[in-house]
Amino acid sequence: MMDSPVTRESSLASLRDKREWDILIIGGGASGLGAAVDAAARGYRTLLVEARDFASGTSSCSTKLIHGGVRYLHQGDFALVRNALRERSHLLANAAHLVHPLAFVIPAWRSLDRIVYGAGLKLYDLLSGGHALAASSSLSRQAVIDALPGLRRTGLCGGIRYWDGQFDDARLAITLMRTASELGATCLNYLPAVRLLKAGGRTVGALLRDAESGEKFEIAARVVINATGVHADSVRRLDEPGAAPLLTPSQGIHLVVDADFLPGQQALLIPETEDGRVMFAIPWQGKLLLGTTDTPRPDLQQLDDPQPLAEEIDFLLRTAAGVLSRPPTRADIRSAFAGLRPLIHPDNTDEKNTAALSREHAVLVSASGLITVAGGKWTTYRLMAEQVVDRAAEVGGLPRERCTTRLLKLHGCPAKPGSDVYGTEAPLLVTLPGHDRPLHPALPYTEAMVRFAFRHEAARTIEDVLARRTRALFHDAAAAEASIGRIAEILDEELQPAPERLAAMIAAAHAAARRFRPGA
């Protein structure tokens, strides 16, 4: 049965009663939402606030993989790979509607490469231990062609197949938000923290401002967690204005093209590109996802809404042209998006080589007791959350409660793996108006999904629906933009915003669509 929706107004009302929260989490991306689930599951009174929408930054712009990280083998970071592979198994079990096994093929154009890749992936199998999805295997030339029909065949001598996990990042974020809410947490988007509150030299809460109404809330908490991703240093400076930078932003972009450039349901991995990274070509929700890049962005003063650089787009197209028999061009790009990695680099001594910086996470405690969790990646979000909540309980003097998230089924998780991102709630969508009306002929969404987003998933704007409740902007930015008018009509019916606010949301949605369309 569908849960009764918690309204934004009722959640805001809970902030007016001046109660003290056990844990206040600032940041609604992977690490913050994971911490909210963990804290609420332990019974702590938990409040999570996000300045914009849940997963509106890096957490919705990933490569859509739950994986150990093959390239970290080359770096010798075996502990990171082992932890990630263990966490992969937890997610496959606990979010079976969102995380699925996917086969990857590494083609070899030299016999030696086939041997080297095979040895590396046997190590990957070994590090998986009892969490392996399937053993890696050597493929003949014909087997590679059968698996990847769009691959360039000249000089091909065979390849290696291995298995990892694929997911929908933004949908997992929304699922974590709903899971935390079911466990008793209060989660609010569009509620930025504008100031930290101090008493006796300690951080004891924050001043929050509702981005929609302007109302302010003074929130008391026994401990505050800074889980703001690439914004972590900004929040740290609210605590200590002279705090040295912890992060070095690195930009990674992805291109989305039609699936017929690489037909089939297996992914392609190019193990070494001209910049020393790997490149993926991945079947994703009926499209082909190409990525990624690694571009240092120390120039970014504004960390919201990064956009692909022309040279990054050219790099991905050039790399794809070297391995695909029919390479895509700029005219074939349906969508292009960028995300910023919160790479840990305490000394900030080498901003030129972000590919070598750590994806490990760190949990830091300032002199005032502000806890910052930084770094990491989607695959290890649960482990990060466990560690940061352990530390928060210690700093905040909370009763020590055991972490239970290893076996915690997330909201909507079906008894058996399924392909519908709504999981156990999928049948309920047919009860909503518009369940049989497509939002757009080129998009796999219905008008009922839009209503569901406003009623049950805390969507507040048109962009929230296009980018994170559905993935329309990531599938086909032009089709998404053509859907803005109809979504605006549904939003008007469901949320009844003031006319000027609705007009502003329509303009913002058109601006977002342009960001996803290079050259538009």
Residue 221 in tokens:
């908490």
Element (H, E) at 356: none
Within 8 A by CB and 6+ apart from 303, the residues are 57, 230, 231, 249, 340
Q: How far apart are the first and last CA of the chain?
A: 44
**Percent of residues, the chain, with pLDDT higher than 90:** 86
Mean pLDDT of 263-275: 92
What pLDDT, on the 0 to 100 scale, is given for residue 277?
Answer: 81
Element (H, E) at 282: strand 279-284
* 264 within 8 A of 410, measured Cβ to Cβ: no
Summarised one tens digit per residue, pLDDT across range 215-262 is 999 999 999 999 999 999 999 999 999 999 999 889 999 999 999 999
If you classify domain 8-58+170-246+354-407 with CATH, what class do you get?
Answer: alpha beta
* 306 within 8 A of 293, measured Cβ to Cβ: no
Dihedrals φ, ψ of 101, to 5°?
A: -65, 145
| Range in 138-142, 359-363, 448-452, 494-498 with the lowest mean pLDDT | 359-363
* 364 within 8 A of 220, measured Cβ to Cβ: no
pLDDT confidence tier of residue 353, bands split at 50, 70 and 90? very low
Strands 99-108 and 267-270: parallel
Strands 216-226 and 202-209: antiparallel
C-alpha to C-alpha distance for 62 and 282, rounded to whole angstroms: 12
Query: Is the pLDDT score of 1 beyond 60?
Result: no
Query: Is the pLDDT score of 382 beyond 70?
Result: yes
Query: Is the pLDDT score of 108 beyond 50?
Result: yes
Query: Is the pLDDT score of 349 beyond 50?
Result: no
Strands 216-226 and 371-375: parallel
- The dihedral through the CA atoms of 495, 466, 504, 460 has a sign that is positive
What pLDDT, on the 0 to 100 scale, is given for residue 355?
Answer: 44
pLDDT confidence tier of residue 4, bands split at 50, 70 and 90? low
C-alpha to C-alpha distance for 499 and 247, rounded to whole angstroms: 41
The residue among 204, 197, 211, 240 whose CA lies nearest residue 28 is 211
If you classify domain 90-165+249-344 with CATH, what class do you get?
Answer: alpha beta
Looking at the DSSP assignment, which residues form a beta bridge with residue 104? 162, 267
Which residue in this structure is represented by tokens 């080129």?
442
What pLDDT, on the 0 to 100 scale, is given for residue 346?
Answer: 55
8-state DSSP, 130: G
Element (H, E) at 219: strand 216-226
